[in-house]
Chains A and B, each alone.
Chain A
Amino acid sequence: MMPNLIIDNKKIRVAKGTRVIDAAESAGIYIPRFCYFAELGAVGACRVCAVKFIDGPVEGIRMSCMVEAEDGMVVATDDAEAVDFRRHVIEWMMMNHPHDCPVCDEGGHCLLQDLTVAGGHGIRRFAGKKRTYADQYLGPLISHEENRCIQCYRCSRFYQEYCGYTDLGVMGIAQRIYFGRYKDGVLENPFSGNLIDLCPTGVYTDKPSRYTGRRWDFERTTGVCTTCGLGCSIMVSARYRQVVRLEAAFSRAVNGAFICDRGRYGFSWVNSENRPRQGRVAAKAMAPQKAAAAAAGRLDSLAEQYGAGAIAVAGSGRSSLETLAAWMDLCRRRSWRGFFFDDLAAAPAAPAAVSGLSPENVVSMKAVESADMILAVGADPLGEAPMLALAMRQAWRAGAKVFAIDSRDLEWPFEFQQVVAEPHEIVDLLSGIEPENEIGGNAGKHAGKMAAIQDQIRHSRFPVILCGTAIVDQSTALAAAGLVKRLRKNKKDTRLFYTLPKANTFGGLLLDHRVQPPDELIHAMESGEIKALVAVESDLWQNCTDRDLLERALNGLEFLCAADCMATELVSRADIVIPVSSVYEAGGIYVNQEARAQWSAPAHAGGTPVRITGAGGHPPRVIGSAIPGGDMPGAWQAAWQIAGLAPPAGPGEMLEWMTKTYPVTAPVKTMAAQGVRIFPLQ
């Protein structure tokens, strides 16, 4: 039954178990809070969410985070007694606070500052001594300033309960309470950057972005994290033509309220001085468009000399869907040798993962938290897709049993049982799991542990099979899909979750499942069949184990063109470089490992950071009407420039072109904020 209640004269109907603080928020009524955070649960510690219960099962002043909504409740958040109560709570919370907002990095986006001002306590009444603390060194990413603490416990709860790490917590008692580490040192939790977002005041602030500005100085946009294949939502802050900070953005389906540190801090390349920002032909710098035109000329004459089959394109899943579509289509129209996809070296099983997923068996990362049994095969979430490990931990905290079949020495922040098996053994082990029968003899020495897995699956309500694509081959990814199919046939709601290495590994294979792996490219270059290579946001060196071979292959080329926003090895070796704008400047669509296409909006208009163009001058100016370095094309536009044609006029026209050329992408036209799932056409 869904309780009906009244909050501030509004009739509200919520799901059973909803807390009054959330019920109010669902009706647009924001109740102040410091300790309450939906993902961390309620502890009722800060006392600032007090409201008055006028009528119903409870009456009087209560903490709205500690009371579940019930039928007949009448609640007033604006009752004079409640308002007075909250005002006093904030006032005594501020007793020891240093009131250092003007020099605090949280100033301007601080919950404590907002509520203090809202409570009318901008001026301090308490004349006593304040307690002070020594701060700690927590590593290069997070600043610590304990004096500002109001003891909400969000940090220690997140760190220890939510993430499962034990090197930060709460020490002391009463007036000596201290949040920090045993001794100075780098935080061990790979999700510790979330402390910055979580802390309602300035105890934990972002270190790399210090002195870059107040929040209102930044151009802020929600985007998609491109660090791994999960596609977490991020909030990008940019100023003076550089990205200064990434934060978690809320996504109900993907990452919830948090992101991992790799995603949060893995953007420095975009501001780098080494990043290609000018076109280059041989050693000569020129405008990107001119470099593209020169490349077009070279490619035409090479095609004439050796045939179109001597030209190839290398791309990767760090490109947007638009870029991948543009270059794949160019390849096809020009009858070039083909499009070679880096990601197939990093994740040989990726094609099977894309074909194995279906609208029936797919599961979002957030829904993994409600699994009651997880079997991970050949996947190391903490290394490959960190936020997935955090989702698995939440499932485990709620009682899920977690199993792994893997040959590696896995360390995850929760308990799990592992069947130590080599990648080639996994197919047989998965095939042996039969919903009805006992584990057969083909499980060999693993029979005991496999029987435990089988038993757990049988007794679970919502099992999730998690499959890696890096250390296992296609047959394993297919076997995982096969297991899910058998269990679903047996009326068990089983879901399938693959990990993929790059933001658009799925997207690339969605556009064309016949893209070729880079080792075929390397062999064709070495044998002299391929004379010219256009590397579009590709880094063949990254996944290549035979570097001598790659060296020989590249030396055999007559022409290497690199279109990239990163300073890769291929860019430094290229005969012609076409600099392209990054996701933060051009935006783009990225399809994550669960087939969810999401739009990452550009955070700023592009150009070389003022820090670089200004060269320390005061003011740091460049005379001219154009943005310095603002003439870089998007990587998809470069495809048209190479073809000597005018690209679609803007993102809207590009979308039109893409959905027409690649009908599989049609759903992106109706993409909502949460994205849209796209599966391969049958």
Chain B
Amino acid sequence: MLPETYINEVEKRLRRAVHPREIIIDVMLEVQQFYGWFSDEALEQTARLLNMSPLEIEELATFYNYIYRQPVGKYVIHVCDSVICWMIGGYESFVEHIQEKLGIRMGQTTDDGMFTLLPVCCLGYCDLAPALMINRTIYGRLTAEKFDQIIEDLRREK
């Protein structure tokens, strides 16, 4: 359950909004932050907060890449899966390496709950291709070695 203070905060923001629907995505992301992922409970809670039907929230939740309707790991790795990254030599073997390094395929989460791997259609960092994003941090011009280092660092950080 969302804490009372949080609900009050959202309701205050809703009252300030010119059009309540303009802050739907913000509310969804914040509710997701609280639950760790956008569970049915989170979705239904969001619908109640915004006075919308669960279906209307689901329509948005299943459209956007950064709303997770299944549990995800501590770090969600969004690997850019779009045309400029594809054009960089070795993209395919790089993606293959990522999956081998983590021991999971796209859409899966490591057994220790640390990493989830998801493709994303263009991060907008084409100048840094191949690029990926981990919990809002962008990593670019990646190689297998650079990626391994990032993962080692994140593992140590935990």
Contact = CB atoms under 8 A, between A and B. Distances in A.
Interface in A31-50: none
A181 B55 contact: yes
B85 to A, nearest CB: 18
Nearest to A178: B62
Interface in A156-171: 166-171
B150 interface: no
A505 B56 CA distance: 41
Interface in B8-56: 43, 52-56
B41 to A, nearest CB: 13
A189 to B, nearest CB: 12
A284 interface: no
B63 A173 contact: yes
B53 A171 contact: no
B55 A169 contact: yes
A173 B53 contact: no
A172 interface: yes
Contact of A172 (B54, B56, B62): B62
A473 B52 CA distance: 39
A178 B62 CA distance: 10
Contacts of A181: 55
B152 interface: no
B157 interface: no
Contacts of B43: 182
Interface string A230-256: 000000000000000000000000000
A170 B53 contact: no
A618 interface: no
Contact of B62 (A166, A167, A168, A176): A176
A166 B55 contact: yes
A173 B62 contact: yes
A131 B136 CA distance: 32
A179 B16 CA distance: 33
B58 interface: yes
B63 A166 contact: no
A176 B62 CA distance: 9
B59 interface: yes
A94 to B, nearest CB: 24
B54 A182 contact: yes
A571 B21 CA distance: 56
A385 to B, nearest CB: 26
Contacts of B63: 171-173
A133 to B, nearest CB: 13
Nearest to B65: A173
A676 B43 CA distance: 53
Nearest to B43: A182
B53 A182 contact: yes
A45 B39 CA distance: 32
Interface residues of A, number: 13
Contacts of B59: 169-171
B52 A171 contact: no
A183 B54 CA distance: 9
Interface string A59-94: 000000000000000000000000000000000000
A618 to B, nearest CB: 46
A374 to B, nearest CB: 25
A167 B53 contact: yes
Contacts of B54: 182-183
B58 A166 contact: no
A270 B55 CA distance: 37
A171 B56 contact: no
B144 to A, nearest CB: 29
Contacts of A172: 62-63
Most B CB contacts (10 A, CB to CB) among A167, A171, A178 go to A171
Contacts of B55: 166-169, 171, 181-182
Interface string B51-76: 01111111100110000000000000
Contacts of B56: 166, 169
Contacts of B53: 166-167, 182
Nearest to B57: A182
B51 to A, nearest CB: 11
A245 B58 CA distance: 33
A176 B63 CA distance: 9
A173 B43 CA distance: 18
Contacts of A166: 52-53, 55-56
A247 B55 CA distance: 27
Nearest to B44: A182
A166 B50 CA distance: 14
B62 A182 contact: no
A171 B56 CA distance: 9
A168 B59 CA distance: 10
Contacts of A171: 55, 58-59, 62-63
A172 B58 CA distance: 8
A172 B55 CA distance: 11
A181 B58 CA distance: 9
Interface string A137-173: 0000000000000000000000000000011111111
Most A CB contacts (10 A, CB to CB) among B43, B52, B56, B58 go to B58
A589 to B, nearest CB: 43
A168 B58 CA distance: 10
A151 to B, nearest CB: 14
B62 to A, nearest CB: 4
A169 B57 CA distance: 11
A619 to B, nearest CB: 47
B31 to A, nearest CB: 16
Nearest to B47: A182
A447 B56 CA distance: 39
B102 to A, nearest CB: 24
Contacts of A169: 55-56, 59
Nearest to A176: B62
A166 B62 CA distance: 16
16 contacts: A166-B52, A166-B55, A166-B56, A167-B55, A169-B55, A169-B59, A171-B59, A171-B63, A172-B62, A173-B63, A176-B62, A182-B43, A182-B53, A182-B55, A182-B58, A183-B54
Given A169-B59, A182-B58, 7 more contacts: A166-B53, A168-B55, A170-B59, A172-B62, A176-B62, A181-B55, A183-B54
The 3 A-B residue pairs with the shortest CB-CB distance, nearest first, are A166-B53, A182-B54, A182-B55
